[in-house]
Amino acid sequence: MAFIRRPRSLWQLRTRTLNLGERTLVMGVLNVTPDSFSDGGLYFGTGAAVEQALTMLDQGADIIDIGGESTRPGAQPPGAQEEQDRVLPVMKAVLRERPGTVISADTYRASTAVAAVGAGAEIVNDVSAFTWDAEMASACAHLRCGVVLMHTRGRPDAWRTQPRLAAEEVVPLVKEDLRRSLDHAFAAGVERSRIVLDPGYGFGKVFDDNYPLLAHLDELLGLGQPLLAGVSRKSFLGRTVGAAIGVADVPAGERGNATLAGTAAAILAGASIVRVHEVRPAVEAASIADAILAAL
């Protein structure tokens, strides 16, 4: 695969637009949860979460993606009100400290999306691509916010028992499912200029299933939308690195180097936005990948 020159576009958010394609944008992950797979509990309190958001902004994050529910298999999902109680105070406090911050609400619930945009969020990042809440598509159309539609294959509790995909099945499956989600979004009134697509690394793709999706990410550009890639600390990276050094797995917190490799590969394959836990290293890696793309 040759490196891919990304199409340039304007991503329309709630109150502003972001330029995509010229420079990779870095989305910092902020999990306000007790049980997320790599940082559960670290930023569960509002004070700690706000401090982490400000740190990520200082390190060069363009977007802060704030979520209040872990999608880790086996995690206990909070109710909508508990989810909102976790994230809304953080969003409001970050915007008080840094009024220009672009905040993304990581939620699949329409009620939380409405509350988050009311609190100042510019983007709704739905890991289910509008499939887990029947009201989400129409809610986002009404909110006129930016949207990330992420591919998920099944629900988290089913991931461990799902049948494996053949390598050649992965990309066509993700592409077709995202096409359907796009059609659903358009039918609900969400404008094309507001939508970014995410292939959903690790979400219903078992370990090596993710590598065809990374190697052929550029095929998803055929759907006509900018792409976001989130490989940060994913388990398929840990398994691969573990095999290279003679262990079964590498813990999530020790997958930083693997994350940078996967993130740079995604940028060179067509991603305009990368979603990461560690911002500064990602900003540095993206600057190199962007320089390579500028030389094409």
Query: Would you kindly state where each structural domain of the chain is located, as residue ranges?
Result: 23-294
* SS3 of the chain: CCCCCCCCEEEECCCCEEEECCCCEEEEEEECCCCCCCCCCCCCCHHHHHHHHHHHHHCCCCEEEEECCCCCCCCCCCCHHHHHHHHHHHHHHHHHHCCCCCEEEECCCHHHHHHHHHCCCCEEEECCCCCCCCCHHHHHHHHCCEEEEECCCCCHHHHHHCCCCCHHHHHHHHHHHHHHHHHHHHHHCCCHHHEEEECCCCCCCCHHHHHHHHHCHHHHHHHCCCEEECCCCCHHHHHHHHHHHCCCCCCHHHCHHHHHHHHHHHHHCCCCEEEECCHHHHHHHHHHHHHHHHCC
Percentage of the chain exceeding pLDDT 70? 96
Query: How far is residue 174's CA from residue 277's CA, in Å, rounded to a whole number?
Result: 24
CATH of 23-294, one of 3.20.20.20, 3.40.50.720, 3.10.105.10, 3.30.360.10: 3.20.20.20
Q: What is the pLDDT of residue 35?
A: 55
Question: pLDDT tens digit string along 154-178?
Answer: 888 888 788 888 999 999 999 999 9
The reply to whether 92 belongs to the active site is no
98 belongs to the catalytic site: no
pLDDT at residue 149, as a whole number: 98
What pLDDT, on a 0 to 100 scale, did the predictor assign at position 1? 54
Q: Which residue stretches of the chain have pLDDT < 70?
A: 1, 35-41, 44, 72-75
**pLDDT at residue 45, rounded to an integer:** 84
Quote the pLDDT of residue 21.
97
Q: Please identify which of the residues 153, 234, 239, 255 carries the catalytic annotation.
A: 234
Residue of 246, 227, 224, 249 whose CA lies nearest to 238: 249
Annotated active-site residue in 6, 194, 239, 275: 275
